[in-house]
Structure 1
Amino acid sequence: MSAQLALGTYRCQAIPEAAARAVASGAQWIDTAPNYATGQAQTLLAPALAAHPALRVSTKTGYFTAATGADAVDAGVLTEDQAAAGHSLAPDYVRWQTGRNRAQLGRKRLDLVLLHNPERAHPGDRADLHRAIRGAFEVLEEEVAAGHVAGYGIATWSGLEKAFTVEELLALAGEVAGGQQYHHLVAIQLPVSLVMMTPIVQALHGQGPLWAAAGAGLRVMASAPLHGGELPTIVDQELADLIRPGLTPAQACILATASCPGVTDILIAASSTPHWKEATDAVTQPPLDTARLREITDVLASP
């Protein structure tokens, strides 16, 4: 079975309408962040979440808008210098932002809170970065214990390439929780596409973050499966037919990502009913087998 579709709101237009169409299409997850839609995404999603209590939501802590930074300074959880950076994993800020997320989304308990590009906190210094992640995980474990959060994880663009591994994240969570069997690190989010192919290639060889996450039973949310909408203009119909005859280039790209070992959710920013139907028709296809995925990545990797 291939991965399931979820609404990603980073590049999403008309968030309330997109949420309604995602629900109508059977999506079970919506992914957002406090800095999306110039800081308005969570408030815009609140009515849809109120109308559909079973709908699950993942949000983030890390990046923030200037207005949120000013509020954090007023609340005493960030200094002026920290607010000027636009990103923080400081424990007091993580705790404050998690509460703010709950208030804006209208949820007493968040399904998933992700550290947003944690590699941004201490670029180039793995030891300091890992200490910062550990401190943030400690706060999130406290939030789980308080009933405010069900689970946590990380959302990254490039951190899993050089700043940390899934195994290191699991070890940090285990340290905080007092053992690997007790922690609530449950998900990772990273770009997986026919442009960002490295995780796919690694997984096909039993390596890399997707393979490690699957082995640990983590939810894996694949972001940017269409590479910001650019990929269908790169993949021609001939390549789409190699992936699966009869699919459009966009559908072929989505199916390739959905078929990647370890991927559980595909984040798409579709806002129209036809786009949701196109994507839904893609993920309901039988997944590609390993041999076909290897053939596709070999073709794309060739000069």
Structure 2
Amino acid sequence: MTATLALGTYRITGEELAAAARRAASSSGGWIDTAPNYCHGRAHRLLAPVLAESPRVGIATKTGFLTEATARSAHAAGVIPNTKIRHSLSPEYVRWQTERSRTELGRNPDVMFVHNPERQQAELHTQLRAAFTALEEAVHAGHLSSYGVATWSGFQEKAFTIQQLDRLATEAAGGDHHLRVIQLPVSLVMDGHFTEALHGTGPITAATELGWDVHASAPLHGGELPHLATPEIAELISPGAEIAAACLSAVASCPGVSKVLLATCDPTHWSDALAATRAEVSRDMLRTVLDVLATSD
């Protein structure tokens, strides 16, 4: 079974965001991924009308990064020590940002991700435990359904493992916790965790074994992959498919991946991506493709 397509909003700006979100909301199992620092700090407010129109669409946001304006507001609220801070995992900030996100979105997020925690080098696990404690409080208050960790390089850099995150969340919750999802890059370029998943190892497999969801970010490597891959690779993955579609089919077929996040404001691209993520690629073929790519490096 392949993963479902979800809208990633990192690379979408301005009024195009609302139109893209409406397309995502109208899709089966619609899901939108955003963050308070996206779209120059405007993402939440631009998405709010769409969420009001489509209360069943899932919404994930994040806590961690601050824009300059957010830093001024957070400092005025007494939750960060100065306005120069651009990333924080402090429980005071996490609580403040969670409430701010609820207000700006006009509803409770389904998931709150701790955003790129690997940026915090000092006592990272202590900071994560404290952030998880604040998020557990939000879940118990009915303000979140669950929370997760969205990372770019944390697993690759061994800043943490799935087992460590599970332990820290258990310590934060004092028992059963609500850390239920991870987000990480999965593509034919950043293919390390992809390859591990095909061999039953790595963070994707470990998260799946705990019953967590796995959201794949940057499946087209920021739009670069269609220019990096070859027609021959696309033909191998999905005969007759365009390069971008074949690459999306591959990521959607990665074992353990439950959602594929794609940032596009083009209606045709979205429609093509929906079809691509429904086309399943066998594990044997995925292994062959990744072996071919490894050989060509």
Give the TM-score normalised by structure 1: 0.95
> Which residue identity does 1:204 align to in structure 2?
L
Give per-residue Cα distances to partners, 1:157-214, cap 9 Å, x unaligned.
Answer: 00011100011000111111122xx100010000000000001111111110000011
Residue 111 of structure 2 corresponds to which residue in structure 1? 112
Give the match for residue 7 of structure 2: 7
Hey, what's the Cα distance between the residues in 1 that align with 2:55 and 2:81?
36
Equivalence for 1:152: 147
Shift of 1:25: 3.5
The corresponding residue for 2:162 is: 166
Q: Which AA in structure 2 matches 1:136?
A: A
Alignment of 1:277-296 (within 5 A): 277-285=271-279, 287-296=280-289
Distance 2:22 2:283 in 1: 35
For 1:105-144, what aligned pairs fall within 5 Å after superposition? 105-107=105-107, 109-122=108-121, 125=122, 128-144=123-139
SS in structure 1 of the partner of residue 84 of structure 2: helix
How does 1:1-303 map onto structure 2 within 5 Å? 1-13=1-13, 14-80=16-82, 83-107=83-107, 109-122=108-121, 125=122, 128-161=123-156, 162-179=158-175, 182-285=176-279, 287-303=280-296
> Identity percentage over the alignment?
53
CA distance in 1, matches of 2:67, 2:126: 24
The CA deviation string for residues 6-38 of structure 1, in whole angstroms up to 9 with x for no partner, is 000000241001111222333511000000000
- Per the TM alignment, residue 236 of structure 1 is displaced from its structure 2 partner at its CA by 1.9
For the Cα contact (< 8 Å) 1:16–1:45, is it kept in 2? yes
Give distance in 2, aligned partners of 1:202 and 1:191: 13
8 A Cα contact 2:71 2:85, kept in partner: no
Task: Give the secondary-structure state (helix, strand or coil) at the position aligned to 2:74.
Answer: helix
**Aligned-partner residue type, residue 159 of structure 1:** G
CA contact (8 A) 2:198 2:255 kept: yes
Gaps of 5+ in 2: none
Aligned-residue RMSD, C-alpha: 1.0
User: How much has 1:85 moved relative to structure 2?
Assistant: 2.8
CA distance in 2, matches of 1:114, 1:206: 25
CA offset digits 1:55-92 (Å, max 9, x no partner): 11000000010100000000001111xx4130000110
Q: Structure 1: how far apart are the matches of 2:53 and 2:29?
A: 14
Deviation readout 1:83-117 (Å, 9 max, x if unpaired) = 4130000110000000000001000x220000000
**Contact kept? 1:7, 1:27, Cα under 8 Å:** no
Query: Aligned equivalents of 2:46 and 2:76: distance in 1?
Result: 24
SS in structure 1 of the partner of residue 260 of structure 2: strand
For structure 1, list consecutive stretches of 5 or more residues without a partner in the other structure.
none
Is 1:12–1:269's contact at 8 Å kept on the other side of the alignment?
A: yes
- The alignment partner of 1:7 has SS state of strand
CA distance in 1, matches of 2:109, 2:269: 28
Secondary structure of the corresponding residue to residue 141 of structure 1:
helix
State the 1:221 CA deviation. 0.6
- C-alpha contact 1:112 1:150 (8 A) present in aligned 2: yes
Q: Runs of 4+ in structure 1 displaced over 2 angstroms?
A: 23-27
| TM-score, normalisation: structure 2 | 0.97
- Residues 7 and 22 of structure 1 are in contact (CA less than 8 Å); yes or no, is this contact kept in structure 2? yes
**1:45-64 deviation digits (Å, cap 9, x = unpaired):** 00000000001100000001
Aligned-partner Cα distance in 2 for 1:25–1:246: 25
Q: Which amino acid aligns with 2:272?
A: E
| More deviation, 60-69/14-23 | 14-23
